[in-house]
Amino acid sequence: MKHLVFSCFMLLSAAGASGQTNADSLVNVLEAQELSAVEQLELYLKICHSHYKAFDAEKNLRYAVKGLSLAEKEKDHLMISKFNEYIGYAYSDMSSFDTALVYHEKALDAAMESKNAEQQAGVYINISAVYANQGKYVPALEYALTALPVSERLDDKQKNMSILFNIGALYATLYNYDRAVHYFRQVLALAEQSDGFRLYYKRNVYYELGKIYKDKKEFDEALGYAQASLEASRSAGHKVYEAMNLQLMAQISYNRMPPDYDLALQYAEESVQLSEETGFRGVIVSSWNIISNVYREKKRFKESEEFSFRAWLLDSLNISANINSVATNILYNLAYTNIFLGNKNKSACFLQKYHSAMLQYNDRDFHQALVDMEVKYETEKKEMRIVALEKERQLYIWLDVAGVLLAVALGTALWQKMRNVRKEKQLISSRSVLDGEMGERTRLARDLHDRLGGNLAAIKVSLANNGISMQNVYGRLDGCIEEIRRVAHNLMPASLQFGIKVALQDFAAQFPGVHFHFFGKEKRIGERIEFVIYCCASELVNNSIRHSGAKCINLQLIQGDKYVTLTVSDDGCGFDEKRVAKGFGLKSIRDRVTSCGGNMDIATATGTGTEITVEIKTENTCQGDRRFYFP
């Protein structure tokens, strides 16, 4: 039903005299007086405009063809454009939209030849309306957005309102109601500044708002707008819009809960009666479709099939070419009602047509095209502004240069600062690693002094006093040797010579509650990274055992092509990361990982257990370096 809005609305782009001129008297003047070619063309134009406003498509077409023939003889490109435009109007009124498009394109070519920007803008609107009538909303919006900047340059409020209205109607058709309301409000704002078209646009916009609120299922609001538009239509004697509003009110009555089928039928029948008086086929088809829906819901399938078939016969060619919600509903009703009427062949035929129509109807991707064309329109507006502000171009260039220089200076300063911060972090990390190494040295010295030193001193004293047997000396020396091996193993585990997987397996085997899992492809990585991974695993597992009270600890190693990932998780008591993360243990681990260019993530909270993940990049590490281990 959208094509009704666009067709009624195209009259605003027509160039010519007021529609109040009596067409018959103009014809008498044309036939009775000897007039120049220019005067005849003007009279033909006024006659066409009068018949167009009266919705007399046949007379409009007849005089437009005569005017076109004279304009072509005179080689008047502007008049050629205008008469082609009126021929296009006539075919649109007869729902022959493909033919209408041909003549509007001819009108555009002639308008380009005449270099008349106002006429060009008007023809763009008309082509947009024809595409909208056909359900081709992407090119419709493209032509509307092309017309808008041309009209804005001319400061033509009348054409601006018509274009904005079409754009709003297109958005409403595509269910983008917020954008539709945005454009309709712009129309109303401009209409307040134009006394001659205030009532006209209020009537149109109220009608569109009624449809929007109907689709949003806000039926009270929808009915209010439809009634306001109906009253305006009756005041202006505009029967087509009166029929359209009655049709809208029928749809509202039919769709609201609970539905009022009798009232819907009354409104729809009134709409059909008015539509038949005006000969506007589109409203008749839509109204018959509503009547068919009402009878279908009342299970009066014979009447429902009758009205759907009327609509099909009246508009079958247009339904085939212009698949929309009305067309698909007509096909659905024909298939559905014939099932209950026992007409299997007819039902199968229309069911197939309905299936094909739905595939075509659902295969349209409008929304991305809308976004692209709106961006295009905004770009064109910016280009127009650049042209208007050409005198300030040099100033903007200097401002741009200054801005670029400032940006470069700021960028350089920021880069230098980030570089210094990175170096400072690396220095802190290196110092932290050295601090860790110093701690290890201190622990090693303490172990050697307290354990080995004490044992060896005791053996020396015993030997000096001859108070110990050689067998006892051998036993104590064996203990010292074992202690040395234990200390050495803590510094560099012997199992690391077979790879990090084996080393972690051996380490986990020492504790009954620790379970080791390995995933990925086992391969050797850099000695330093393997050692860091082992130290992290050892420290994290020991932390869990000592502090978390965990019953189960999972030690997981994943070796990928580029990364090695260590995860230690437990079911212990967890901890407050902000408080504990400052401790030396976690800080030491983080510093070791950072020194290798890795990351450490902690997931914990009091009473929820702990999971710590270490990830280090390995793709650039040396795979063939030699390793040396303590025996």
- Residue 618, classed as helix, strand or coil, is coil
Q: pLDDT value at position 99?
A: 92
Q: pLDDT value at position 18?
A: 39
Q: How far is CA 446 from the centre of its chain?
A: 66
Structure tokens at 227: 């009634």
Residue of 554, 550, 551, 546 whose CA lies nearest to 613: 554
User: Among 117-131, 215-229, 397-411, where is mean pLDDT lowest?
Assistant: 397-411
How confident is residue 584, by pLDDT bands cut at 50, 70 and 90? very low
Q: pLDDT value at position 622?
A: 42
- How far apart CA 502 and CA 73 sit, in angstroms, is 99
Q: pLDDT value at position 81?
A: 92
Specify the DSSP element, H or E, that contains 594.
helix 584-595
Domain 238-244+256-362 in CATH 3.40.640.10? The answer is no
How confident is residue 465, by pLDDT bands cut at 50, 70 and 90? low
Please name the residues in contact with 371: beta carbons below 8 A apart, sequence gap of 6 or more: none
- How far apart CA 249 and CA 232 sit, in angstroms, is 15
pLDDT tens-digit series, residues 319-373: 554 556 788 888 899 999 999 999 989 889 888 888 887 776 665 544 445 544 5
Report the CATH superfamily, name and number, of domain 494-617.
Histidine kinase-like ATPase, C-terminal domain (3.30.565.10)
Q: pLDDT value at position 20?
A: 39
What value does the mean pLDDT take over residues 32-59? Answer: 80
Q: What is the DSSP letter of 4?
A: H
Higher pLDDT, 482 or 73: 73
- Residue 569, classed as helix, strand or coil, is strand
Which range is most confident: 19-28, 124-133, 186-195? 124-133
Q: Is the pLDDT of residue 17 over 50?
A: no
Domains 1-174+366-388 and 494-617 in one fold: no
Cβ atoms of residues 541 and 506 within 8 Å? no
User: Among 83-97, 245-259, 420-434, where is mean pLDDT lowest?
Assistant: 420-434
pLDDT tens-digit series, residues 589-620: 888 888 788 889 888 887 788 999 999 988 65
Specify the DSSP element, H or E, that contains 553.
strand 553-559
Backbone angles phi, psi at 465, to 5 degrees: -95, 0
- Domain segments of the chain: what residues? 1-174+366-388, 184-237, 238-244+256-362, 494-617
Residue entry with tokens 């067998």: 471
Higher pLDDT, 226 or 408: 226
Q: Is the pLDDT of residue 73 over 70?
A: yes
CB count within 10 Å of CB 81 equals 27
What value does the mean pLDDT take over residues 80-96? Answer: 89
Backbone angles phi, psi at 502, to 5 degrees: -65, -40
Q: SS3 letters for 203-214?
A: HHHHHHHHHHHH
Q: pLDDT value at position 630?
A: 33
Strand partners for 516: 555
- Residue 242, classed as helix, strand or coil, is helix
User: Among 45-59, 121-135, 308-322, 409-423, where is mean pLDDT lowest?
Assistant: 308-322
Structure tokens at 463: 């030997």
What value does the mean pLDDT take over residues 445-452? Answer: 61
- How far apart CA 585 and CA 536 sit, in angstroms, is 10
Q: Is the pLDDT of residue 523 over 70?
A: yes
Residue entry with tokens 């741009």: 400
Q: pLDDT value at position 474?
A: 67
What value does the mean pLDDT take over residues 386-396? Answer: 63
pLDDT tens-digit series, residues 474-500: 676 777 766 666 665 555 666 677 888
Residue of 487, 508, 485, 504 whose CA lies nearest to 495: 504
What value does the mean pLDDT take over residues 411-427? Answer: 76
Task: Specify the amino acid at residue 465.
Answer: N
CATH label, 1-174+366-388, candidates 1.25.40.10, 3.40.50.620, 1.10.10.10, 1.20.1560.10: 1.25.40.10
pTM of the model: 0.44
Q: pLDDT value at position 410?
A: 85
User: Among 102-106, 156-160, 400-404, 478-482, where is mean pLDDT lowest?
Assistant: 478-482
